[in-house]
Chain A
Amino acid sequence: MIDREQVLHVARLARLRLSEEEVERMATELSGILGHVERISSLDLDGVEPTAHVIELQNVLRPDEPRPSLPRERALASAPDPAEDSFRVPSPQA
């Protein structure tokens, strides 16, 4: 139901590198789970509103009042590669 190519496409979207063995296993497992999930395709759901939130809340707003920010050392403390007061990453332009 979900083939190798689809697994690779989805893995790419999700930025997950999968080994050859994982790709095969994933295709089998996902197909099995989706096979079960597809049971809902037999339900008549015409005109049923989708639920995104289970509680009916609206307009929960925050006043535009500043709160203290983190000191920069704290913000960078957990960074794997801090440099020049910033978070360094391999260049996306590479």
Chain B
Amino acid sequence: MASELLELTVARAAERIRSGELSAGEYFDAYREAAAGDPLNAFLWTAEGPDEGGAGEGELSGIPVAVKDIFCTEGVATTAGSRILEGYLPPYTSTAVKALREAGASVLGKTNMDEFAMGSSNENSAFGPVKNPWDHARVPGGSSGGSAAAVAGRLAPCAIGTDTGGSIRQPAALCGIVGMKPTYGAVSRYGEIAFASSLDQCGPLTRDVTDCALILRALEGRDPMDATSVGIEGGVELPSREDLKGLRFGIPRELASDAEGIERGVRGVFESTVELIERLGGELAETELPHAPHGISAYYVLAPAEASSNLARYDGVRFGPRADGDDLTEMYERTRHDGFGDEVKRRIMLGTYALSSGYYDAYYGRAQRVRTKIAEDFARAFESFDFVVTPTSPTVAFELGARTDDPLAMYMSDYCTVPMPLAGIPAISIPAGLAEPDGGGPELPVGLQIAGPAFSESGMLDAAHALERAIGFDSVPGGGS
């Protein structure tokens, strides 16, 4: 019975709860039990029961949600995967979590993540790596790896995460689920611990596209606490499309055929998905995003620069642990040395350097201009196409430890996902099939990425829905190894 409950989509479970067929308590308990048993190290904290005062009359009434531990939750430990926030109990709750609660959902638990969302494998968590439910010896992707693993591993029906350079879409792809990064400004960032403020965006991780739309519907909106939030005008419609007739899809050469480092298996799944698009009536053509290959370079200047500033507040004065020091500077330096992990330190150093006197123009200034060019490339593509499609991740899930000694190799995991946040546009990853890794081994999920113009979420979900039906991805992770 419990295992059958864990297979329900959010839409179905919500419907059953509404009709009285399923009790919200029973549904929550099934997940609470699953999450408490967590074999993936996906959760950092799990709730005892549904939120008090939650389970209201909204569309998500009775639905447990796994929340990336980057969202502040009043009175519940919030760490952003870092030692420097160990024991921190926020005095307030993020707007995204409030919105979910207002729709009737309850926080099931807080999920593991790369420290301050910096990473593509979840190996940068201070609380240990998360395992990929398809193969426990492999990474789930990151930085929202805990959220993705929990949803794929049937420990949560749905989750929210954040995406700065691919942190929702890439782990969704590696775990065989749906993940969406909405348009910058669609969802409030208030209470979402900042990594790179001009890029960060909250979005859903779900088992299917309809659930993704349901969660996004609850999340989006203009928030007076976030000056950069606008919401999605007209809201989000639930997807219903069954074909792709009349839709034009561009395949950017730079992120597909010409891209280096795309695994053979990933390429194969991508090509067959493209054929499927055509069979569903979609028009297809190759297009160009000439500056997209520079996305990683621009991103690894801009994001660390913003991060170096955003992470200055972790100084041992107002919250979090403090290391002893004979004077103020020593206290600062030791607190931050002890509190931050290697990748975070690396990015703080990189960002501080890029902004420092004498280097600003060469790094930050240029990166901002590359950003402009990338946005212009997309704008030009969207004059001819409704959407562009690419593989989400160049590779399937890699083995734990495979890239930890090579930061640049790790950064290349986001090659296909980085250009969209730079342009502020939405993109979704849906499971497109299974493929063997280049070195051989068991078949693992491959994601297809669809990106569209700003605020095209409803149309994008609709197209993804049609494609999802045609793909018919119904594999379930088996654990393994």
Q: Mark A residues whose CB is within 8 Å of B.
A: 2, 6-7, 9-11, 13-18, 22, 26, 29-30, 32-34, 36-41, 43, 45, 48-55, 57, 60, 62, 70, 74-75, 77-81, 87, 89-92, 94
A-B pairs, top 6 by smallest CB distance, nearest first, are A54-B424, A50-B368, A78-B319, A17-B333, A80-B322, A17-B337
B264 near A: Cβ within 8 Å? Answer: no
Task: Say yes or no: B328 contacts A90, CB within 8 Å.
Answer: yes
Task: Say yes or no: A16 contacts B294, CB within 8 Å.
Answer: no
Closest to A75 in B: B91
Task: Say yes or no: A30 contacts B353, CB within 8 Å.
Answer: yes
Task: Mark interface residues in B180-204 (1 if CB within 8 Å of A CB, else 0).
Answer: 0001110000000000001000000
The 12 sampled A-B contact pairs (Cβ below 8 Å) are: A14-B349, A15-B333, A16-B337, A17-B330, A17-B336, A34-B353, A38-B297, A39-B294, A54-B422, A54-B423, A55-B230, A79-B318
Closest to B296 in A: A36
Distance of B64 from chain A, by nearest CB (Å) = 27
Task: Say yes or no: B372 contacts A60, CB within 8 Å.
Answer: no
Distance of A23 from chain B, by nearest CB (Å) = 10
Task: Say yes or no: A30 contacts B375, CB within 8 Å.
Answer: no
Q: Which of B118-126, B213-221, B278-286, B358-366 contacts A (4 or more CB under 8 A)?
A: B358-366
Task: Say yes or no: A50 contacts B371, CB within 8 Å.
Answer: yes
B350 near A: Cβ within 8 Å? Answer: yes
Task: Say yes or no: B300 contacts A37, CB within 8 Å.
Answer: yes
Distance of A56 from chain B, by nearest CB (Å) = 10
Query: Which size class do B's interface residues fall under?
Result: 35 or more
B469 near A: Cβ within 8 Å? Answer: no
Distance of B160 from chain A, by nearest CB (Å) = 21
Q: Which of B100-108, B109-117, B135-143, B340-348 contacts A (4 or more CB under 8 A)?
A: B340-348
Task: Say yes or no: B345 contacts A30, CB within 8 Å.
Answer: no
Task: Say yes or no: B368 contacts A37, CB within 8 Å.
Answer: no
List residues of chain A with CB within 8 A of the CB of B454: 55
List residues of chain B with CB within 8 A of the CB of A90: 325-328, 330-331
Task: Mark interface residues in B361-387 (1 if CB within 8 Å of A CB, else 0).
Answer: 011011111111101000000000000
Contact of A40 (CB < 8 Å), options: B184, B297, B334, B407: B297
B308 near A: Cβ within 8 Å? Answer: yes
**Assuming A50-B368, A51-B368, what are 6 further A-B pairs, CB within 8 angstroms?**
A13-B356, A51-B371, A55-B184, A78-B318, A80-B316, A80-B317
Report the tally of A-B residue pairs with Cβ distances under 8 A: 166
Task: Report how far A74 CA is from B75 CA in the complex, Å.
Answer: 11
Contacts A49-B369, A78-B318, A90-B327; A37 near B301 (Cβ below 8 A): yes
List residues of chain A with CB within 8 A of the CB of B340: 16
Output the residue of A30, A34, A48, A54 with the most chain B CB within 10 A: A54
Closest to B314 in A: A15
Task: Say yes or no: B423 contacts A13, CB within 8 Å.
Answer: no
List residues of chain A with CB within 8 A of the CB of B227: 57, 60
Task: Say yes or no: A77 contacts B348, CB within 8 Å.
Answer: no
Task: Say yes or no: B336 contacts A40, CB within 8 Å.
Answer: no
Distance of A73 from chain B, by nearest CB (Å) = 11
Task: Report how far A54 CA is from B198 CA in the complex, Å.
Answer: 8
Task: Say yes or no: A78 contacts B372, CB within 8 Å.
Answer: no
Task: Report how far A60 CA is from B84 CA in the complex, Å.
Answer: 33
Distance of B88 from chain A, by nearest CB (Å) = 6
List residues of chain B with CB within 8 A of the CB of A36: 296-297, 300, 408
Question: Which parts of B275-307 form the interface with A (CB within 8 Å)?
Answer: 291, 294, 296-298, 300-301
Closest to A46 in B: B369
Task: Report how far A11 CA is from B407 CA in the complex, Å.
Answer: 19
Task: Report how far A13 CA is from B326 CA in the complex, Å.
Answer: 19
Task: Say yes or no: B407 contacts A32, CB within 8 Å.
Answer: yes
Question: Which parts of B52-101 form the interface with A (CB within 8 Å)?
Answer: 88-89, 91
Task: Say yes or no: B368 contacts A26, CB within 8 Å.
Answer: no
Task: Report how far A23 CA is from B426 CA in the complex, Å.
Answer: 39
List residues of chain B with CB within 8 A of the CB of A14: 308, 312, 336, 348-349, 352
List residues of chain B with CB within 8 A of the CB of A62: 224
Task: Say yes or no: A15 contacts B336, CB within 8 Å.
Answer: yes
B315 near A: Cβ within 8 Å? Answer: yes
Task: Report how far A41 CA is from B348 CA in the complex, Å.
Answer: 22
List residues of chain B with CB within 8 A of the CB of A79: 317-319
B329 near A: Cβ within 8 Å? Answer: yes
Task: Say yes or no: B228 contacts A43, CB within 8 Å.
Answer: no
List residues of chain A with CB within 8 A of the CB of B407: 29, 32-33
Contacts A7-B349, A33-B407, A55-B230; A45 near B370 (Cβ below 8 A): yes
Task: Say yes or no: B373 contacts A45, CB within 8 Å.
Answer: yes
Task: Report how far A26 CA is from B88 CA in the complex, Å.
Answer: 29
List residues of chain A with CB within 8 A of the CB of B367: 37, 40
Task: Say yes or no: A77 contacts B337, CB within 8 Å.
Answer: no
Task: Say yes or no: A16 contacts B345, CB within 8 Å.
Answer: yes
Task: Say yes or no: B228 contacts A32, CB within 8 Å.
Answer: no
